[in-house]
Amino acid sequence: MKALREAFGETLVELGEKYPRLLVLDGDLANSTKADRFEAAFPDRFLEMGIAEQNMLGVAAGLAHLGFIPWLSSFTVFFTHRALDPLRMLVAQTHANVKIGAAYSGLLTGYTGKTHQDVEDLAIMRAMPDMVVLAPIDAVETRAMMHWACEYQGPVYLRLTRDPSPVVLEAAYRFEPGRVLELRQGRDVALVGTGPQSTRLLEAAKALAREGIEAGVFHLGSLKPLDEDGLLEKLRPYPLVVTAEEHSIYGGLGGLVSEVLSAADPKRVIRIGIEDRWGESAPNDWLLDRYGLSAPRIAERVRKEVES
C-alpha cells in the first residue's frame, strides 16, 4: 500500500536531480500534497504562491514559456474549478509546459466533503484541447508517468489521490501514453477502471471468479491520449462492459469508453460512478460503499447485470 501523493513527493525530488529547470509551485498545501519533500531538497526551486490558485496557473505559464518545467501542487478541485480559466487560456491554449499535480482527487479526500470532492474533473479536463489527462493506478505508475511527463512538451494533468492504495505494477513498469493495460483476462464481462479504482476492480473480479463469472479487468491510466483501436480490440470479445470511477457517470471514464464503443463496436456499457450528485464527508469505506465503488458492491452490480 502506498498513497499516490507520497509517490508524487518522492518523485519530485528524483526529477529535481535530473532536470535542473524543474520548479515546484505550491498553493499553501505542500504538507498535504507532499511537495514539501521537494522544498526540503531544493529550497530555491520551490516557489510558494499562497492561497491564490488562479495566479499560480498564470505564473506557471510565464515560467514555462521561459523554459522552466513548473510542477504545481494543490488540491484537484482548486485546479479544475478555482483556476479553470487561467488553466485553460494561459496554460492549455498556449500549450505551456506545465505539469499539474492534482492531489486529493476523487471521493477519498480525507473527510473534507463535497466542496473538496471533485466529481467533475475528468469531464472538464478531457474536453480541454491540448491537455494530457493521466490517472495512475498506483505509486509505481505515478512515478512512471511523472518521468514521462518531464520528457513530454506540453500541459499534463496528473490525477493523484490522498490515501494509501495497493501497489499492483512491477517496479520496472514503463508508461506509454494511450496504452490500455489488461490486468486480468476474462470472458463474461470487462471491467474498466482508472486511477486506484482499477485495483478495486481486480478485487471484485476475484470475488466474481469464485462464483463462476470470469471478468476481464482493464486499466485506463491514460484517458487522453488514448489508443482507441487498442481499447476496441481488447473489449471486442466481451458481451458486456462495466466502467467504474470515482467521478460522475457523466463525461469521465464511462463517457469515454461509451464514446469509443458506440462509434465502432456498440454494446452494453454499464457506468458505475457518482450519479449526478455531490459527495459528502464520511469515512472512506462508507463512501465507497455508498457510491457502489467498493469491491463487494462492484461484484454485486456485475452479478446482477450478467444475470439480467
Ligand X SMILES: Cc1ncc(C[n+]2csc(CCOP(=O)(O)OP(=O)(O)O)c2C)c(N)n1
Which of another protein, ligand X, none lies near 81, with the C-beta cut-off 5 to 8 A by kind?
Answer: another protein
Told to check if 103 binds ligand X by CB under 6 A, we report: no
Helix H or strand E segment including 146 = helix 139-151
Q: How far is CA 287 from CA 107, 200, 215, 236, in A?
A: 7, 14, 24, 33
Site for another protein in 153-182 (CB under 8 A): none
β-pairing verdict for 215-219 and 181-184? antiparallel
Nearest to 171 by CA among 138, 194, 149: 138
Least spacing, CB of residue 163 vs ligand X, in Å: 17
Stretch that binds ligand X, among 23-31, 34-42, 226-234, 288-296 (CB under 6 A): 23-31
Task: Spell out, one character per residue from 15 to 54, where the chain touches another protein: x when CB under 8 A holds, - when not.
Answer: -----------x-xxxxx---x--x---x----x-xxx-x
Choose between 293 and 302: whose C-beta lies nearer to another protein. Answer: 293
Residues 6+ apart with CB under 8 A from 160: 4, 5, 8, 33, 76, 101, 102, 103, 104, 105, 136, 142
Task: Spell out, one character per residue from 125 to 144, where the chain touches another protein: x when CB under 8 A holds, - when not.
Answer: --------------------
Told to check if 28 binds ligand X by CB under 6 A, we report: yes
Told to check if 284 binds another protein by CB under 8 A, we report: no
Told to check if 82 binds ligand X by CB under 6 A, we report: yes
Which of ligand X, another protein, none lies near 280, with the C-beta cut-off 5 to 8 A by kind?
Answer: another protein
**What is the spatial distance between Cα 272 and Cα 253, in angstroms, rounded to a whole number?**
10
Residues 6+ apart with CB under 8 A from 191: 201, 204, 205, 215, 216, 217, 218, 242, 243, 244, 298, 302
End-to-end Cα separation, the chain, in angstroms: 36
Least spacing, CB of residue 28 vs ligand X, in Å: 4
Residues forming the site for another protein (CB under 8 A): 26, 28-32, 36, 39, 43, 48, 50-52, 54-55, 77-78, 81-82, 110-116, 280-283, 286-287, 290
Residues forming the site for ligand X (CB under 6 A): 27-29, 51, 78, 82
